[in-house]
Amino acid sequence: MGLLDGKFAVVTGAASARGLGKATAKLFAEHGATVAILDLDQAQAEAAAADLGPNHVGMACNVIDKAQVQQVMDALIEKWGQIDILVNNAGITQPLKFMEIEPENYEAVTDVSLRGTLYCTQAVVPHMRQRKSGSIVNLSSVSAQRGGGIFGGPHYSAAKAGVLGLTKASARELAPDNVRVNAICPGFIATDITQGKLTPEMKEQVLAGIPMGRAGEAIDVAGCALFLASDLSAYCTGTEVDVNGGSLIH
Q: Which residues are part of the catalytic machinery?
A: 156
Torsions phi, psi of 9, nearest 5?
-125, 145
Strands 85-88 and 134-139: parallel
Strands 57-60 and 34-39: parallel
> Which region holds residue 58: left if phi is over 0, alpha if psi is between -120 and 50, else beta?
beta
Torsions phi, psi of 182, nearest 5?
-135, 160
Torsions phi, psi of 237, nearest 5?
-150, 145
- Sorted by sequence, the CB contacts under 8 Å of residue 69 that are 6+ apart come out as 61, 62, 63, 119, 120, 123
